[in-house]
Structure 1
Amino acid sequence: MPKVIGGSLVAHRGEVRARVFAALREQLYERGFGSVTLSRVAAAAGVGRTSIYNHFPDRQSLLVAFVEHEAQRYVSDLDAGMRAAGSPTERLAVFARMQLQRLSEFHLPPGQALAGALDPSAYRRIAAHADPITGRLAAIVADGVAAGEMAAGDPDVLVAMVSAALSARQIVDVPADELPASIESAVAVVRRMVSADGVAGSL
């Protein structure tokens, strides 16, 4: 019988998932999803292969569970960060910084490639986690237009343009010591992109 970690089955399950997700996060960062295997993740997490298969029958189910976990944590952090901001433009800057930082830490294939690597149901579950993020961006843009801070017009176009800009890996695929400056440069561009007068303003 596998050793129970944490003194109870509930605690054991939580600890196994935490270890597995930490190991997967590191392997995604170092190698990308294409090289991920359950046995490699289990070894890095210090759990038995039987244990990981009890939780995740294949690498697709592991990735879906990981993305769901990370999305919940990220949305919570994003909401907290935006609550501390003032104007819609300031909220947009927080949103953009956090999105780019998250992009720098996630090494999943782009949408079409990921769709090819996963079965349709798994891909739909992962893609669904973009909806709350897009909804928050849409709310920022709507508030910015209403406040006269952002360009009037079709808000859906602004949201699409900002989303595309914040998914550009060229911004974050830079040496670690250059990442903060690259992110700030991109934030300034995004602010200028949506500005009602075309001026980014102070960061």
Structure 2
Amino acid sequence: MPKIIGASLHEHREQTRRRLFGALSTLMSERGFDAITLADIAAAAGVGRTAVYNHFPDKESLLLGFITHETEQYAAGLQASLDDIDDPVEQLRAYVRAQASLTRVYHVAPGPELRSVLSRGAQQRVREHVGVVEQILRRILAAGIASGELPEQDLATTVPLVNACLTGRNLPDGADEREQAIAQTEAFVLRAVGARVPVTA
């Protein structure tokens, strides 16, 4: 009988999933999704290959589980940080900074883009999970419009445009250059949605 990790079966399952997600993330960043197998992931996670199938039937399902987990964790942390901010424009600043700084390993992994190796159904599920974060932006913008801080606008158009500015950008490695790039992105987005932003030198 396989050794149980943790104090209970539930904890064992959660720890095993975290190990698999960590191994997938590391291997994907090193080789790309298409170049790794479930056996590679199991070995890197330190679990038996048959144990993987107790959680995920195939590599694509594992990737979707990983993306779901990462998105939910990120969205919860982002929302918690925004709950302490009352001003919608300041919330938008925080959102832009968080999104601009976020490294999405499943977007920047080497090899073919994931869209080219995932089935259509899997692509749709990934899109649905991205929508969790988009809903946060939608709520921020709606609050800004309601308060008069932002002009009326079609959020169905604005939300994807804003996120398109923030997704998949390569920021400079240097701290000063990185901060400047994020600050310029922040100013661009604020101007794009019509926020009253003071002009700085």
Both structures adopt the same fold (TM-score exceeding 0.5)? yes
What does 1:124-163 align with in structure 2 at a 5 Å threshold?
A: 124-163=124-163
- Could you tell me how far 1:200 is from its partner in structure 2? 5.5
**C-alpha offsets along residues 35-59 of structure 1, whole Å, 9 cap, x if unaligned?**
3322222222111222223322211
- Counterpart CA distance in 2 for 1:107 and 1:200 is 36
- Counterpart CA distance in 2 for 1:20 and 1:137 is 30
Consecutive unaligned residues of structure 2, counting only runs of 5 or more, are none
- The higher-RCO structure (CA 8 Å, 6+ apart) is 2
Residues 171 and 196 of structure 1, relative CA distance in 2, 3 Å threshold: same
Task: Give the ranges of 4+ consecutive aligned residues of structure 1 lying more than 4 Å apart after TM superposition.
Answer: none
- Counterpart CA distance in 1 for 2:10 and 2:174 is 38
Aligned to 2:100: 100
Consecutive unaligned residues of structure 1, counting only runs of 5 or more, are none
- Counterpart CA distance in 2 for 1:160 and 1:8 is 42
TM-score computed with the length of structure 2 as normaliser: 0.84
- The one-letter amino acid of 1:108's match is H
Aligned to 2:183: 184
- Counterpart CA distance in 2 for 1:23 and 1:66 is 10
**C-alpha offsets along residues 178-200 of structure 1, whole Å, 9 cap, x if unaligned?**
44443233122211222344x36
C-alpha RMSD of matched pairs (Å): 2.6
Q: Does the 8 Å contact 1:20/1:42 carry over to 2?
A: yes
Residues 5 and 29 of structure 1, relative CA distance in 2, 3 Å threshold: same
- The one-letter amino acid of 1:190's match is V
- The one-letter amino acid of 2:63's match is L
Look up the SS of the partner of 1:73 in the other structure: helix
- Could you tell me how far 1:162 is from its partner in structure 2? 0.7
Q: Does the 8 Å contact 1:171/1:182 carry over to 2?
A: no
- The one-letter amino acid of 2:190's match is R
- The one-letter amino acid of 2:69's match is H
- Could you tell me how far 1:77 is from its partner in structure 2? 0.5
How many residues get paired?
A: 197
Aligned to 1:84: 84
Look up the SS of the partner of 2:107 in the other structure: coil
Aligned to 2:114: 114
- Could you tell me how far 1:119 is from its partner in structure 2? 1.9
- Counterpart CA distance in 2 for 1:60 and 1:80 is 30
- Counterpart CA distance in 2 for 1:27 and 1:184 is 32
Q: Does the 8 Å contact 2:33/2:114 carry over to 1?
A: no
Aligned to 2:173: 175
- The one-letter amino acid of 1:42's match is A
Look up the SS of the partner of 1:170 in the other structure: coil
Q: Does the 8 Å contact 2:29/2:108 carry over to 1?
A: no
- Could you tell me how far 1:34 is from its partner in structure 2? 3.1
- Could you tell me how far 1:116 is from its partner in structure 2? 3.1
- Counterpart CA distance in 2 for 1:49 and 1:6 is 19
Aligned to 1:56: 56
**C-alpha offsets along residues 146-195 of structure 1, whole Å, 9 cap, x if unaligned?**
2232233333332232111111x2343x3264444432331222112223
Q: Does the 8 Å contact 2:92/2:140 carry over to 1?
A: yes
Residues 44 and 200 of structure 1, relative CA distance in 2, 3 Å threshold: farther
The worse-fitting range, judged by mean Cα deviation, of 15-24 and 118-127 is 118-127
TM-score computed with the length of structure 1 as normaliser: 0.83
